[in-house]
Amino acid sequence: MEPAVLEAIASPRRREILRLVWTGEQSAGAIHRAMPDVTFGAVSLQLRTLLEAGLLEARTEQRNRYYRVRREALGPVAEVLERMWDDALWKLKLAAGLEETRRGPKPRRGRGKRT
């Protein structure tokens, strides 16, 4: 594995892009629409970085350019990323659970003051 791969997946922005194309190719525009906090240009540059690291490949159809992930370039790291994303979901769910708990907490069990 090339060092460039490790560098590429270190950036949250680039991981966001990888995640977006993880299950199927997306056009550059669609990717940008999913991250409206940055300009199209910024997205395009990150796409280039990912391309050059070999983590993405692209094809042009009409006016659009579609990007897809090259999982083989990631090797075992693919599963690491998937697990990270799953964990993040899990934590969100957990947070939601805690919210509920805060609204109606179970009283602490165990030995209380025996008066």
Partner DNA sequence: CAAATATTTTAGTTATAACTAAACTATATT
Partner DNA sequence: AATATAGTTTAGTTATAACTAAAATATTTG
User: How far is Cα 34 from Cα 17, in angstroms, rounded to an integer?
Assistant: 9
For a copy of itself, the closer of residues 15 and 71 by Cβ is 15
Residue 110, sorted as left (phi over 0), alpha (psi -120 to 50) or beta, turns out to be: left
Binding site for a copy of itself (CB under 8 A): 1, 3, 6-7, 9-10, 12, 15, 75-77, 79-80, 83-84, 87
For residue 97, the partner it binds in DNA, a copy of itself, none, with Cβ less than 5 to 8 A by kind, is none
User: How far is Cα 53 from Cα 4, in angstroms, rounded to an integer?
Assistant: 5
Q: Which amino acid is at 44?
A: S
Contacts (CB under 7 A) with DNA, residues 3-22:
7, 11, 13-14
Q: Does 38 sit near DNA (CB under 7 A)?
A: yes
What's the per-residue H, E or C state across 16-31?
A: HHHHHHCCCCEEHHHH
For residue 39, the partner it binds in DNA, a copy of itself, none, with Cβ less than 5 to 8 A by kind, is DNA
For a copy of itself, the closer of residues 9 and 43 by Cβ is 9
Contacts (CB under 7 A) with DNA, residues 56-85:
58, 60, 62-66
Q: Does 52 sit near DNA (CB under 7 A)?
A: no
Question: Which parts of 1-115 are beta strand (E)?
Answer: 26-27, 56-61, 64-69
